[in-house]
Amino acid sequence: MKIVSWNVNGLRSVLGKGFSTWLANERADIVGIQEVRAQEAQLGPCLESIGGAWLRAFSAAERPGYSGVGLLSRLPADKISTSLKDATFDAEGRVQIARYGRLTLANVYFPNGSGPNRDNSRIPFKLAFYRRLFDVLEVRRRRGEPILVMGDFNTAHREIDLARPKENVKTSGFTPEEREELDRWIRAGYVDTFRVFEPGPGHYSWWSQRFGVRAKNVGWRIDYVLASEGAAKHLKGAFLSPHVTGSDHCPVGVELDDAIVG
């Protein structure tokens, strides 16, 4: 089984930049996308290009052109929830929690903490969102169920996960309190799947759109697939795809034993 996550920075935009060809060639079973930035009704004509083999589900923000997540799957989900039981979070269309047999798959676009004035004013909201999602999943994790949490986490976990850590210690996405929240998930038993297979530097999933930044690989690794202990035992591989363009993020993903769905 292959599961892929990609912040597409606008689905309608990326559909005009080769998304359908990428999707056909990727041979994934499930694709989670973030930052859809459209209501589902606006996507109809665009989605015709991806073909009829995919089951589709979307959750949009109340604010037009903002946030939003979607799942494209070759497998029918038993259930998809889009609520964290908090109206403030739910209004932003940031989460889908899907059940595929035994597997719980959370497709998530975590908030950016920068705030409208780039003053880190939204970090408290961001951390509260992390904690609420953690709590929603915790009963299943404690039971040993397989859980994958994938998406744009908007946080680089360690210094190795961004090109210029020293210059960014006060930048949202690499502040001590944001990194500590990711540490808390890891201490609880979640596994950073990419680091199981690749311990080295220079691997990023997001680059500024300023000219030449991506070519120089001055990036951040802020897109992850975290696996609970119950899911990690089914892990066979994990990857980033920096050669795939069309967004300021690249796809990330995992390969798993089919038994994960039970």
128 by Cβ neighbours in 10 Å (0-12 / 13-18 / 19+) ranks as middle
Q: Which residues make up each annotated binding site for Mg(2+)?
A: 7, 35, 152, 154, 248-249
Query: For tokens 């589900």, what's the residue?
Result: 57
Q: Are 30 and 4 in contact (CB under 8 A)?
A: yes
Q: Are 226 and 190 in contact (CB under 8 A)?
A: yes
Report which residue type is found at 208. S
Give the H or E element holding residue 260.
none
Predicted local distance difference test score (pLDDT) of residue 49? 85
Provide long-range contacts, Cβ within 8 A and 24+ apart, for 112-115: 112/154, 112/172, 112/173, 113/154, 113/172, 113/173, 113/175, 113/178, 114/171, 114/172, 114/173, 115/172
To the query of whether residue 152 is one of the catalytic residues in this protein, the response is yes
Predicted local distance difference test score (pLDDT) of residue 259? 97
Predicted local distance difference test score (pLDDT) of residue 44? 81
Q: pTM here?
A: 0.98
Predicted local distance difference test score (pLDDT) of residue 48? 85
Pick the catalytic residue: 29, 130, 152, 204? 152
Pick the catalytic residue: 29, 100, 109, 190? 109
State which residues of the chain have pLDDT below 50. Answer: none
To the query of whether residue 29 is one of the catalytic residues in this protein, the response is no
Predicted local distance difference test score (pLDDT) of residue 40? 85
To the query of whether residue 234 is one of the catalytic residues in this protein, the response is no
CA–CA distance, 244 with 229 (Å, rounded to integer):
30
Give the H or E element holding residue 231.
helix 229-232
pLDDT in tens, 85-133: 999 999 999 999 999 999 999 999 999 999 999 999 999 999 999 999 9
Predicted local distance difference test score (pLDDT) of residue 180? 98
